[in-house]
Amino acid sequence: MTNDDALEIATRAVDLAVEAGAEHAEATFSVARRFHVEARERTVSKLERSTGSNIHVRLWREGRHVAVASSDLTTHELRASFLRALDQLRYVAQDPDAALPDEFGEFAGDLALVDSSIGLRSEPEKIDDALALERAIRAADPRIVNSSGSHYSDANTTIALANSAGFRGAYTASRASRSTSPLAEDRGTKRTAHYGTAGRVLADLEAPDAIGAVAARRAVEMFGARKPPTMRTSVIFERDVAAALLDDLFSAVAASNVAVGNSWLAERIGDRVGSELVTIVDDGTLPARLGSAPFDGEGVATRRTPVFEQGALRTFLYDSYYARKLGARTTGNSTGGGIGANNFYLVPGAGSLADLVAATRRGVLVLETIGFATEHATGTYSRGARGFMIENGELAYPIDEFTVAGNLADMLAGVDAVADDLRFDGATVAPSLRVAEMTISGN
């Protein structure tokens, strides 16, 4: 399906909604062609190929708003759905902030969202990726005895958005990923690990051999892990864990949380919250990145938004609804039903993760966190974790079954080193970073 075909479907849905009685309407149509293969040892355990489509329509009348989602695109069914939805509006409270955006547009540059080489690959080549990952983890260490599956997947997705104010836009984006989850066993003790890579461009993905080697190492290096002592010490968050930390921070800068008092950053615009090493940007205009798009979920042009600059909080992130509610301007972060990240990332520093470790006299390297225990209203942070004890700038021994805890405000202020290993394999990403001091709860 072409962009024009998809846009025609979205436009038709808007016209039907207006004919049904909506004062304003917005339709987002998406169609995705997906491929996924899972392998275990020498066997393909799952093979999926699908094409799925759906439409999401928002309707407004008399200051009230309702949404309809459907995979049935027939004129009869869409019209009937809109009539039913509009009939239900009598039960919905009026909300003057719920309306189409005040501005529309598209980023004008080339975002390089499609890699044609993904679509040109044969299915046997894709299947061999998953099998190659299985071979790689087993070749890396004899203690790898099984896996929870090795995966290759890709997708080409076309998104079209139209509204009754005259906006029309459509784009197609590709995505591919490789990942593996080995299981290691040593003297009756078992350990698991996971490692993967993703991107819009196939050439940006790490090779199966490299992925397998990292995943296998992460599984076997935790044998002999022990609880660390309870202490206050430096903590290094490896980049994947740092990305999860940034995801917690995103919740605090999302205007939807700020508006209801569920953010520890409310009322702090202009304050210096983090150290000078903390510059965090949301940018939907980076070419060939997974969070990039020409417009957001309600037809507002994406842009580059500095959120923190050298530790100072500059702005929250808005869709049009919460921009109206809080007296601000949208930042192009609508998902069509909420606020989401485009490419939300911590600007990298200098030096590798190994350099960070070497520069740490005593501390903890966190390689994995477990559980969810962040209070967004207060910024309280607490996670179960696994990783390594650092002594005299070296990884001394693996540690497990401990908790790393602090407050996000103190953690941002305490960032004293940022590595250069940023990898854009998601919408929220970060390089490895070090916090000068946090509480480690162990023995």
pLDDT in tens, 22-66: 999 999 999 999 999 999 999 999 999 999 999 999 999 999 999
Give percent of the chain above pLDDT 70: 100
User: CA 421 to CA 237: how far, in whole Å?
Assistant: 12
Measure the CA–CA gap between 364 and 368, rounded to whole angstroms. 12
Give the pair of three-digit tokens for residue 194.
Answer: 């996971």
Q: How far is CA 248 from the centre of its chain?
A: 11
Q: What is the pLDDT of residue 1?
A: 85
pLDDT at res. 339: 97
In single-letter form, the type of residue at position 18 comes to V
Task: Name the pLDDT band for 130 (thresholds 50, 70, 90).
Answer: very high
Distance separating alpha carbons of residues 26 and 224, to the nearest angstrom:
57
What are the b/e assignments for 212-248, b being 16+ CB within 10 Å? bbbbbbbbbbbeebeebeebebbbbbbbbbbbbbbbb
Distances (CA, A) of 159 to 101, 152, 189, 297: 19, 23, 47, 10
Q: Please name each of the domains of the chain with its CATH number.
A: 3-220 (3.30.2290.10), 224-443 (no CATH)
What pLDDT score was predicted for residue 371?
78
| pLDDT on residue 337 | 87
pLDDT at 180 over 80: yes
- C-alpha span between 220 and 57 (Å, rounded): 49
The share of the chain scoring above pLDDT 90, in percent, equals 96
Distances (CA, A) of 220 to 144, 185, 214, 425: 8, 8, 10, 25
Q: Is the pTM of this model over 0.85?
A: yes
